[in-house]
Amino acid sequence: MRTLLSRTWPAVLLGLLLRQTPSSGDEGGCLRAADILSCAGLGLDRPPADAPAWAAVLDLSHNRLTALRAGTFQGLPRLRSVRLAHNRLTAILPGAFRNSSGALLRHLDLSSNKLRAVEVAPFRDLPGLEELLLFDNLLATVERDAVAALAGLRRLYLGHNRLADFPFRAVREHPELVLLDLSWNRLPRLAPEDLTSLPVRLQRALYLHGNPLVCDCDAYRMLRLWELRGYPAVSDFLRDYTCLMYGARGLAVRFLPDFPQLCDSAAVAPQSGEVTVNAGVPALLHCSTALTGEHVTFFWVSPQHEYVAAPGNNGSLSVFANGSLRIAAARAEDSGVYWCMARDAAGRRNETQEVNVTVVTQHAGRDHDTFSTGLTTLLGCAVSLILVLAYLYLPPCRRPPAANEAGSESARSSAAEGPGRDRHVVFVEPPGKRQNGRPRVGGALEGHVGPASLLEPEAHQTQPALVLP
């Protein structure tokens, strides 16, 4: 007998379990408590077909539902709350909530499913819905009028999705919305002109933390104002409000309190520097920071928005253990603003520094040399012109001729006087030859060429005349 019981016990137990497990559409395995019908975790692939009409709370979470088709909840006129979290829903078709409680339904939980869009059509039959949970889905779009169609909606949870945009202007005039959760999505920017125009009641509970926001001073000032006003959506999640320098992942800084260093003139300004380097010459940029310790890591962002961490990239840029950045051979395109960031091991502290690099190219140096040479030439021409004018218009210095000059055999002079100036002409002949031409002596001494003397040319022309002062 004992052997028989030991052999048949597993089969009996399995049979009992199978009897307690409902088939698809069967309500037999659900739990009932007052007006609550809980069918959670039963492996259902569709809602029970014989759900009682008195059910006000229907829990279908942790099942295998893939879609809500038209008429899914018909015959349930008292529903106030439907929980469909942790299923496999990919679609909610129009008319899914038709012929149900309609305006009585207040709470709808669709979290942790596989929905990709929030559309208008499925929610038109729920004018009284106050709380809609859609977090932890695959949502990439929200139709502009989807939220407006839910006129009674007060709380909308869209966190942990893939939203890169949201129609904030569509909820600006919403009469009831007091909470909007967009945390941990993919929003890259915040438009202050859209957010500050929202009702104050919604600004207080607009959750935007956890998004990969690009660092922006206007967004920082808006979040800072909300923090000072004590809005819980900001003050309770300060650590999760981060932004990315130039949009580069890995270069995240906290909006509050680190980002004021770049925006708020009243805050401590980051240390900045100006570096000038010749083209082709290595340059070393230092990252000054108050962070200390062997676990401090450094990151740089180049003017081309290139993220550079130790040890560097392809040899053109190198990052050392102390945070210094080395430019192997400076080029013209290396000019611009470099950002240095230091972060401790826990990632809780960040500091930034700006270094402005100017690369002087050789072409620029040649232009400078050309300009200098041209200026020198211009000055030389001006001096020469002054000397020529002085020679032409200034009277020469007079001195009595020396005795040996009067009887020189190698030179004869002729002076012509004119009004306001004296000119002396000397004809030079080669040594050992007689002077070309016969002078007509007008002076007392033969061989002396005096004023107004003329020379008679012979067959051969004389040597060129030199004009001497």
To the question of pTM greater than 0.85 for the whole model, the response is no
The end-to-end CA distance of the chain, in Å, is 153
- Nearest CA to 307 among 214, 257, 255, 244? 244
Helix-strand-coil percent breakdown of the chain, rounded to 5?
20, 25, 55
Predicted pLDDT at 103: 83
Q: How far apart are CA 321 and CA 312, in angstroms?
A: 11
Q: How far apart are CA 213 and CA 241, in angstroms?
A: 9
Q: Which domains does the chain have, with CATH numbers?
A: 25-263 (3.80.10.10), 272-363 (2.60.40.10)
Contact partners, residue 186, CB within 8 Å, separation at least 6: 162, 163, 164, 211, 212
Contact 25, 7 (CB under 8 A): no
Contact partners, residue 276, CB within 8 Å, separation at least 6: 357, 358, 359, 360
Q: pLDDT tier at 328 (50, 70, 90 boundaries)? A: confident
pLDDT surpassing 70 at residue 142? yes
pLDDT digits (tens, 9 = 90+) for 125-140: 899 999 999 999 999 9
The more confidently predicted of residues 133 and 430 is 133
pLDDT digits (tens, 9 = 90+) for 146-200: 998 899 999 999 999 999 999 998 898 899 999 999 999 999 988 888 898 899 9
